[in-house]
Structure 1
Amino acid sequence: MIDELQASKSCYFFRQRTPITASAIAALFRAVRRAQTSASNNFFSFSRMPHGEALWSSLCFQFDRTPTFLPGSDSVVDRITGYLLIVEYHGHIAIFKSQIDVTPEFAKRHLERVSPKEVDRGLTSKDSIFDRVRLRNMSLSRFALRSKTLEGDNLQNNVGMASSARFAPLGYSFREAGEHYSTTPRTGRIALRADRAGHIDLVDYACNIIDRIHPRPGRPSSSPFLSAFARPMELSELTAAPSQFAVDSAILKQAIFDDKIIRFVKPDGLGFRELPKAEVDTILDALTAVLAVTIGAAHKLVLSQPTTRAEVGEIAINKKRIALRRLMFPALSQVYVEDTQFGVGADNGRVLLKKFIDEQNAFIVLFNQPQFAYLDGSLYQDDSLVNGGALFLGYLFGNAELAHVVEEKGTFTTGHTMFDNDSTFGTILSTVAHEDNVIVCDDLGDEWADFIGFRTDPSAPRITFYHAKHGDLSLGASPFHVSVGQAIKNLGNLSLPASSMPKKYMRWRRLYTNNRIRTNISRTCRGTPADTQAAVEFCRNAPHTTKRVAIVTSSLSKTAVRQAFLDIAEGAPVDPYFVQLYWLLSSFFAACTEVGAFGCVICQE
């Protein structure tokens, strides 16, 4: 009956972890049959039959299964026919299946997943034409688009590469040399769009794919289309060595001070006391240290201070994740983390801060190859960090006036008629937003942005949301977490929804009040209320209106960012906080692109 088998050319590919024997196949087939109810006699059963350089094994039988839509029924059953076809070839295994599968014990002993990179490089080339791709956003922000699927006759012509590095392809289909393939690299599934085939043709198909994905030196890179995306990687694929470690203190700061979802406590007699801000700041300052990762005794990955080389902790690279084994800062002694939904000392699930950092994956690990980074519990590869950052720098615009800024909003009195010139607010009005015909201040309350600018040039209308920040010059991400979150959260308001505008018009007619001081600064900073309403209507209805979201900050220098990329390209150690900044802002730029807007940062030159 095996000669009557007709199945699609779709199967799962694995590396062979340990050799398969005839007794292993026999044990597998017995276990597969035992797992089913009322198994029939086998329609066919073959063990390790030769075909060229390959060996194939196959099993087919019937069994009873309760319908999924009648889970409580004992009297209604479906009679199911299932089959397995296992192909062994050149250290790889291909499995064709329907209704039955290999057992977990067999998979654990003999199968190892094929690297997604091997699938990409083996299957695709510069001649591949992609018509479907399923993507996952690598953003750390909860506001960013999580995933998307793109379809088109040739996505190379339809997909803007500017934000692609922030997405990882989870599956795709493409055409090449008259054949149409689809694959899910993370699972090893590869399918060819073709007529159903008999078992020998299926074996030949599996061998052909294995020949293509089999690792070999000198293999050309995968399709340029795929190389434009950043891809998550399995830790088992990592060839680089860890070199630096840092706790993601910005996440802790946000959880404590902004979101107020956790607190730090210490034992106090029979109970616990909440730590005041001064003590919390001391702990967080200690956690900002960038630690070196070196190989110590018994091949342990030791964390040490880069200057004193004093050992302060240990990490371990496991099969699925990187674990923080030890972290021994004096400031962390007896510090616990509690959930703020409980009263102080009432959270019986409190954990030591070190354990909390490990469980929440609140740390960054960098490697001696800077294209790799372990963030938020996953390993990623992004080659744009080592190519000079030209694309990233295109989103940064230097403004000389921001070098003279000393405050974000400035000071306020009842006599103020404009924002201070040495504030970020003042600089936006004086130089940054000079192309806008109308500009309003939407700061505080139900704000969409600190300022909203409208350019009403009939040939190039534009709406801009400006988010203002000030801080000391830094290449870290901390100054941007709040502003990026606020910017992404308000992307939907770029459409200027008509239902929200009456309240906005009333608000923009008022004078600006800050900290209970009512100034003489008009919220309509440029133009009149009538001009504002006309600008909103024109920009909303013009089909060619461009939308822009700008974070305006004195805390970043474009020159410093450019130099950081140059240093990385020349092989200098990578600052983990700069990597975090790069990834956070890249997520912001990508989120803007998803809604048809242009995200940018206006900073010091």
Structure 2
Amino acid sequence: MTSSIDKSLRLKKLKSSIKISSSKLKHIYIVYAASEIRLIDYINNMQNFIVTFSEFDIVYTNKKLFKDSKLLANLESFIDVFEEYSALEGTLSEKGNIASHMTRFESNTLFDFVDSVLAVNADYLFCDDLGNEFADFISIDNQKNVSFYHAKHASSQFSASDFQVVIGQALKNIGNMTPSTAQLEQKRTRWSSHYTGSGIEMMRKGDSVENGITSFTKTLNHPNTTNHIYIVVNYISKYRVLSELNELRKGGNTSAQTIQLFWLLSSFISTCRELGFHAHITCKP
């Protein structure tokens, strides 16, 4: 394996694992408090990378080799989680320019898309971006459902690496979908303020932060509540997903990006299913 960015990057097969070697990464250090570690050592210790093979149903990740003979059949049913919106074809950035006079996010951004399209009918909508965030946005339909929105804009097309970033963000914060009372109390001040450097209120919809937190708590405790996770991206199209899936069905050639993306998709949906969350991927048509 070679990389156009780092020509020294190599995969090395060990007896029971795979490691990455790179002369460039050896000279990059992560410094935290009084300790430091080389980036290449951190990557190899954590093993948070995916290695795919020419056989679609085999993947190496987290120090294990997986084979899922039902993956292709399952992926066909996973298509239902993709929800296409033509409005995403015109988005230019994640949140756009932020200025002191603004009271809403720019109209050609993913943040405004969540605000004005995806969560337009919510009883409460909070922007939770920046700081110790649970998600980019959180919406509550009183005693019906709670939804977390994770947005990622990119100039790439059908990028597995960009998709991995937003999937990782969603999975990292999945435990916050059932926050404690103390965690919600810590949000009170933040949600009562404005987005940094602007006049955009963090509470995007609702009558008051106080009532919003009360509704959040009641909804979480309601026996019939459903929880939803939305991945909001501009660089994936449902048509492209279907096209790539058809190629796989026919045994045609597909890119490594496609295989990686489908494995990420499978992992995300399986995790949501196991934890009882509804998964949504909003994308271009």
Q: TM-score, normalised by structure 2?
A: 0.83
Deviation for aligned residue 1:314: 9.7
State yes or no: 1:539 paired with 2:219: yes
Question: For residue 257 of structure 2, what is the aligned residue in structure 1?
Answer: 577
Q: How does 1:287-366 map to 2 (within 5 A)?
A: 320=16, 335=24, 337-338=26-27, 340=29, 364-366=51-53
- The alignment partner of 2:261 has SS state of helix
Answer whether contact 1:364 1:576 (CA < 8 A) is retained.
no
Work out which of the residue numbers 548, 553, 561 in structure 1 matches 2:228.
548
Structure 1 unmatched ranges of 5 or more = 1-245, 250-281, 289-312
Q: Label 1:501 to 1:365 Cα distance change in 2 as closer, same or farther (>3 A).
A: closer
Q: Which amino acid aligns with 2:190?
A: R
1:585 positional shift = 2.7
SS in 2 for 1:480: helix
2:165 counterpart of 1:482: yes
How does 1:111-510 map onto structure 2 within 5 Å?
Answer: 246=1, 283-284=5-6, 320=16, 335=24, 337-338=26-27, 340=29, 364-367=51-54, 369-375=55-61, 377-387=63-73, 389-456=75-142, 461-510=144-193
Aligned-partner Cα distance in 2 for 1:474–1:431:
23
1:151-191 Cα distance to aligned partner (Å, 9 max, x none):
xxxxxxxxxxxxxxxxxxxxxxxxxxxxxxxxxxxxxxxxx
State the AA in 2 paired with 1:492: G
**CA offset at residue 544 of structure 1?**
0.8
Distance in 1 between residues matched to 2:8 and 2:273, nearest whole Å:
34
Question: Which residue of the other structure, out of 195, 199, 203, is the alignment partner of 1:524?
Answer: 203
The letter for the 2-side match of 1:508 is W
Q: Distance in 2 between matches of 1:379 and 1:314?
A: 15
Question: Which letter does structure 2 place at the counterpart of 1:364?
Answer: V
1:413/1:568 CA distance change after superposition, 3 Å: same
Report Cα offsets for 1:19-38 as digits up to 9, x if no partner: xxxxxxxxxxxxxxxxxxxx
Change (3 A) 1:511 1:595: same
Assess if the C-alpha contact under 8 Å between 2:47 and 2:61 holds in 1: no
**Higher share in strand:** 1
- How many equivalent pairs are there? 277
Q: Deviations over 1:419-443 (max 9, x none)?
A: 1110000001111113312111111
Instruction: Tell which structure's C-alpha radius of gyration is larger.
Output: 1
Distance in 1 separating the partners of 2:227 and 2:11 = 47
CA contact (8 A) 2:140 2:146 kept: yes
SS of equivalent residue, structure 2 residue 157: coil
Residues 572 and 429 from structure 1, CA distance in 2 versus in 1: closer, same or farther, beyond 3 angstroms?
A: same
TM-score (norm 1): 0.41
Give a deviation string over 1:436-483, Cα, whole Å, max 9, x none: 121111111111111100112x5xx00001111111243332113332
In 1, are the aligned partners of 2:123 and 2:205 still within 8 Å (CA)? yes
Counterpart residue identity of residue 439, structure 1: L
1:487 maps to amino acid: A
CA distance in 1, matches of 2:101, 2:244: 44
Identity of aligned residues (%): 28
Q: Give, in angstroms, the shift of residue 401 of structure 1.
A: 0.9
Letter in 2 for 1:337: K
Closer, same or farther: CA 413–569 of 1 in aligned 2, 3 Å = same
What are the superposed Cα offsets for residues 245-285 of structure 1, whole Å, 9 maximum, x if unpaired? x56x8xxxxxxxxxxxxxxxxxxxxxxxxxxxxxxxx634x
Q: After superposition, what is the alpha-carbon deviation per residue over 1:197-226, rounded to whole angstroms, capped at 9, x for unaligned?
A: xxxxxxxxxxxxxxxxxxxxxxxxxxxxxx
Contact 2:129 2:135 (8 Å CA) reproduced: yes
Question: Does the CA-based 8 Å contact 1:407-1:422 persist in structure 2?
Answer: yes
Q: Describe the SS at the equivalent of 2:26.
A: strand
Paired with 1:388 and 1:590, the residues of 2 have a C-alpha distance of 10
Aligned 1:19-34 pairs, distance under 5 A: none
Q: Output the CA distance in 1 between the equivalents of 2:38 and 2:176.
A: 39
1:584 Cα deviation (Å)? 2.0
1:488 and 1:588 in contact (8 A); partners too = yes
C-alpha distance in 1, partners of 2:48/2:64?
Answer: 9
RMSD: 3.3
Q: More relative contact order in 1 or in 2 (CA 8 Å, sep 6+)? A: 2
Q: 1:336 to 1:535 in 2, by over 3 A?
A: closer
Structure 2: gaps of 5 or more residues: none
Post-superposition shift, 1:574?
3.0
Question: 1:402: Cα distance to partner?
Answer: 0.9
